[in-house]
Amino acid sequence: MTIGIIGAMREEITPLLEHYKKHEAIAFGGNTFYKVTLGNKTLIIACSRIGKVHSALTASTMVLNFGCEKIIFNGVAGGINPSYKIGDLVLASKLCQHDVDITAFGHPYGYFSESKIFTESDCVLNGIAKAIAKENGINLHEGVVATGDQFVHSKERKEWIKKEFNADAIEMEGASVAVVCDNLNVPICVIRAISDNAGDEALVSYEEFLESSARVSALLVIKMIEKL
């Protein structure tokens, strides 16, 4: 089985590459993909770069070029749900694109014609993540994740996204990867650890907690790989 693991930034894949020390770097399509062989499992790990376009490109490449049969996204996010604390883990139940706006044509926010507002993640992969969290006493929230090409650091924008999409966390890649996987019939799981609260203090918090939160998320992903 071939499994793709995507992080947007170097900090999000470093803990994985440190854990899977023996990896082969393969250059493809302007990026580097790290191949790990674990018995009958092959992992393809990559840092997509930030945003919806980069992450969609990486997910498509993983599936169409490297034959990935499952995709796990691993990284950090801004929390909107007031119960989420820095370092908490969030499993995306469904994902939307909060920056999509063709409302001028009478469509709702987040909707493109012949598509849908929310894309669901895979319940089997999510079940594995939840079982691991339970076994290890990890507090894993399950929530709606809103994606957009914006680092959200304002109370107003965050409140708007929460109200419009009932979102619990904000980031910049999950929904685009989910759309790719949905269209290509590949199960997707998005795991994020909270680095900030997407409010006015988000930047300071993000810079302080990026590395530690990225490690929290990667740890859960490593445990998931052991179970797959």
- Binds ligand SAH by CB under 6 A, chosen from 4, 15, 78, 110: 78
Catalytic annotation, pick one of 88, 122, 168, 196: 196
Within positions 196 to 215, which residues make up the interface with ligand SAH, using CB under 6 A? 196, 198, 202, 206
Catalytic annotation, pick one of 12, 88, 173, 182: 12
Classify residue 121 by burial, with Cβ atoms within 10 Å: 0-12, 13-18, 19+: buried
In the complex, which residue's CB is closest to ligand SAH?
A: 78
50/184 with CB nearer ligand SAH: 50
Dihedral sign, CA of 105, 184, 10, 29? negative
**Three-state SS at 26:** strand
Strands 70-79 and 41-47, sheet pairing = unpaired
Min dist CB 121 to ligand SAH, Å, is: 16
Supply φ then ψ for residue 39, to 5 degrees: 60, -120
8/180 with CB nearer ligand SAH: 8
- In the residue annotation, 196 being an active-site residue is answered as yes
168/173 with CB nearer ligand SAH: 173
Helix (H), strand (E) at residue 8: none
Classify residue 76 by burial, with Cβ atoms within 10 Å: 0-12, 13-18, 19+: buried
**Three-state SS at 15:** helix
129/145 with CB nearer ligand SAH: 145
Min dist CB 148 to ligand SAH, Å, is: 7
For residue 117, state whether it binds ligand SAH (rule: CB under 6 A). no
For residue 160, state whether it binds ligand SAH (rule: CB under 6 A). no
The answer to whether 73 touches 174, Cβ cutoff 8 Å, is yes
For residue 172, state whether it binds ligand SAH (rule: CB under 6 A). yes
For residue 143, state whether it binds ligand SAH (rule: CB under 6 A). no
Say how far apart CA 48 and CA 31 lie, in whole Å. Answer: 8
- Binds ligand SAH by CB under 6 A, chosen from 122, 168, 173, 182: 173
- In the residue annotation, 12 being an active-site residue is answered as yes
164-167-170 Cα angle (round to 5): 110
Which one of the spans 56-64, 81-89, 112-120, 150-158 is the region binding ligand SAH (CB under 6 A)? 150-158
Helix (H), strand (E) at residue 215: helix 202-227
Residues with a catalytic annotation lie at 12, 196
Which residues of the shown chain bind ligand SAH in the complex (CB under 6 A)?
8-9, 50, 75-78, 151-153, 170-173, 195-196, 198, 202, 206
